């Protein structure tokens, strides 16, 4: 008998809130996290705006000052999301279950802040001054490893790295771990902090970033004809997934069921999606099939929705190819319109938002959608949240390299 996987805890750190409740409220209100870059002097950059996490204190989640200094900012975010999610799930990882609780938390880039700082140290002060903690600050798996050390989770543990599909792959693979009996509970998601001089310069040189520097609040414009690229974001989205029987036996509150997961490759181009969004379409089909659902069961899609020209059009084409006439009845929205593109964290954050959407029956909006692209002509929940009963929802993720990951969340009925 196939095990059912449910979501019992959620932790969020986003540009619109340092915790789940604050983030969810801000997203429902259509709040933008965009603003001028404050982490460094960006005056010489073509792009000088980002969606930064504001007022975040890692010591609230990592009380040992040495541990804070020895870990990159993306790990700080991951740890904050994990602490929140475990508390939300009321899950205590004790000796009875610690061997059966695992961690899959990924990052698309890893410790970019540490990389910037330590390369500067190398060039300015010499190799003897490079930190002995640099490698463990930089490598992408360290968030998963550190979470296990801090929580005592001794089950399956690794990091996914699939660019902007990372967080979704982490959640999907964690669910598969539970389904095949390798764990009773998993800590899963993504974390990222790439707002550094190199991070901004590199994406800007690809012409991927918005240059609407004088209007950062309105710069992230998925599906809008006036979009000019994504806005860099940062943060973490962590979910607690559990075997349904285990969750019910301990009396856990259940947000929803993670019913399906599909992952595919475009095998097409290093950055451009496959024509017509064919790879994403196959991933959506797989997620729906694995959920044992029909196309018409899907009522909402949390889109990848980056506000780049090719992504938004290819995702729209993929939805049309999968759902046919039913695409016109779907509600679709982009969380990135408010928090920017959080890269490897995006799939984790958007999975969390989709789970909350199913649980609360509120569709978060796509803000800044004032001049719809004629080729993006579906219902993107423009500018204002909407109440709606959601039976089955998809969360779409796509990554450089042609990675596609789709998660299907179903309203839990027991």
DSSP one-letter string for 229-292:
-B-BBEEEEEEEEEEHHHHHHTT----EEEEEEEEEE--S-SSSPPGGGHHHHHHHHHHHHHTT
Cα–Cα nearest to 23, from 12, 10, 35, 36: 12
Structure tokens at 149: 């050390």
Q: What are the tens digits of pLDDT across the range 357-410? A: 999 999 999 999 999 999 999 999 999 999 999 999 999 999 999 999 999 999
| 3-state SS class at 177 | helix
Are residues 319 and 227 part of one domain? Answer: no
Inside any domain, residue 150:
yes
Are residues 268 and 245 part of one domain? Answer: no
Q: Which of 115, 164, 256, 376 is catalytic?
A: 164
Q: Is 371 a catalytic residue?
A: no
Domain of residue 400, CATH code: 3.40.47.10
Strand ranges, E, within 137-204: 157-158, 185-193
Are residues 357 and 210 part of one domain? Answer: no
Q: Which of 304, 359, 376, 403 is catalytic?
A: 304
Inside any domain, residue 204:
yes
Are residues 296 and 190 part of one domain? Answer: no
Q: Which of 200, 228, 249 is the last residue of a domain?
A: 249
Inside any domain, residue 365:
yes
Q: Which of 206, 226, 249 is the last residue of a domain?
A: 249
Inside any domain, residue 254:
no
Q: Which of 28, 113, 115, 341 is catalytic?
A: 341
Inside any domain, residue 255:
no
Are residues 186 and 217 part of one domain? Answer: yes
Mean pLDDT of 337-345: 98
Model pLDDT, residue 1 = 62
pTM for this one?
0.98
Q: Is 304 a catalytic residue?
A: yes
Inside any domain, residue 256:
no
Are residues 244 and 266 part of one domain? Answer: no
Q: Which of 249, 283, 303 is the last residue of a domain?
A: 249
Number of domains, the chain: 2
Are residues 127 and 18 part of one domain? Answer: yes
Model pLDDT, residue 363 = 98
Q: What are the tens digits of pLDDT across the range 161-190? A: 999 999 999 999 999 999 999 999 999 999
Mean pLDDT of 183-203: 98
Q: Is 326 a catalytic residue?
A: no
Are residues 238 and 179 part of one domain? Answer: yes
Strand ranges, E, within 76-226: 101-106, 157-158, 185-193
Q: Where are the alpha helices (DSSP H) in 324-382?
A: 336-339, 346-360
Are residues 393 and 363 part of one domain? Answer: yes
- Give exposure, 228-241, as e/b (b: 16+ Cβ within 10 Å): ebbbbbbbbbbbbb
Inside any domain, residue 368:
yes
Q: What is the dihedral of CA 81, 84, 86, 89, to 10 degrees?
A: -120
Residue 63 confidence class, pLDDT cut points 50, 70, 90 = confident
- Which run of H or E residues covers position 409? strand 403-410
Q: What are the tens digits of pLDDT across the range 302-324? A: 999 999 999 999 999 999 999 99
Mean pLDDT of 325-342: 98
Inside any domain, residue 392:
yes
Q: What is the dihedral of CA 398, 400, 401, 406, to 10 degrees?
A: -10
Examine the pLDDT at 12 and tell me if it is beyond 80. yes
Cα–Cα nearest to 140, from 176, 119, 101, 114: 114
Q: Print the domain residue range for 353.
A: 261-410
By CB atoms closer than 10 A (0-12, 13-18, 19+), residue 342 is: buried
Are residues 217 and 281 part of one domain? Answer: no
Are residues 230 and 91 part of one domain? Answer: yes
Are residues 265 and 244 part of one domain? Answer: no
């Amino acid at each position: 008998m196939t095990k059912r996987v449910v979501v019992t805890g959620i932790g969020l750190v986003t540009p619109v809130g340092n915790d789940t409740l604050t983030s969810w409220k801000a997203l429902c209100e259509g709040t933008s996290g965009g603003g001028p870059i404050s982490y460094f002097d960006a005056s010489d950059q073509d792009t000088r705006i980002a969606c930064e996490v504001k007022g975040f204190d890692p010591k609230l989640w990592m009380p040992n000052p040495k541990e804070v200094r020895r870990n990159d900012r993306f790990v700080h975010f991951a740890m904050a999301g994990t602490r929140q999610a475990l508390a939300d799930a009321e899950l205590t990882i004790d000796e009875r279950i610690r061997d059966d609780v695992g961690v899959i938390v990924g990052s698309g880039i890893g410790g970019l802040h540490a990389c910037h700082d330590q390369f500067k140290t190398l060039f300015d002060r010499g190799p003897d001054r490079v930190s002995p903690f640099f490698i463990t600050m930089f490598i992408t798996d360290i968030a998963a490893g550190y979470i296990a050390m801090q929580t005592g989770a001794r089950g399956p543990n690794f990091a996914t790295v699939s660019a902007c599909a990372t967080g979704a792959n982490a959640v999907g693979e964690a669910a598969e771990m539970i389904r095949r009996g390798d764990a009773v509970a998993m800590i899963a998601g993504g974390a990222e902090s790439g707002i550094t001089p190199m991070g901004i310069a590199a994406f800007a040189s690809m012409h991927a970033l918005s240059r609407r520097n004088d209007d950062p609040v309105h710069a992230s414009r998925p599906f809008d004809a006036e979009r000019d690229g994504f806005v860099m974001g940062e943060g973490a989205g962590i979910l607690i997934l559990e075997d349904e029987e285990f969750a019910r036996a301990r009396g856990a509150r259940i947000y929803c069921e993670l019913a399906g997961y599909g992952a595919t490759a475009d095998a097409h181009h290093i950055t451009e999606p496959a024509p017509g969004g064919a790879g994403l379409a196959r991933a959506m089909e797989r997620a729906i099939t694995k959920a044992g659902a029909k196309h018409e069961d899907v009522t909402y899609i949390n889109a990848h929705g980056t506000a780049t020209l090719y992504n938004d059009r290819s995702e729209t084409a993929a939805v049309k190819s999968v759902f046919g006439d039913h695409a016109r009845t779907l509600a679709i929205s982009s969380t990135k319109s408010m928090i920017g593109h959080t890269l490897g964290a995006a799939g984790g954050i958007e999975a969390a938002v989709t789970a909350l959407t199913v649980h609360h029956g509120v569709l978060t909006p796509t803000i800044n959608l004032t001049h719809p692209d004629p080729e993006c002509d579906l219902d993107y929940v423009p500018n204002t949240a909407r109440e709606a009963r959601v039976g089955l929802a998809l969360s779409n993720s796509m990554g450089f390299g042609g990675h596609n990951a789709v998660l299907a969340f179903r309203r839990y009925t027991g």
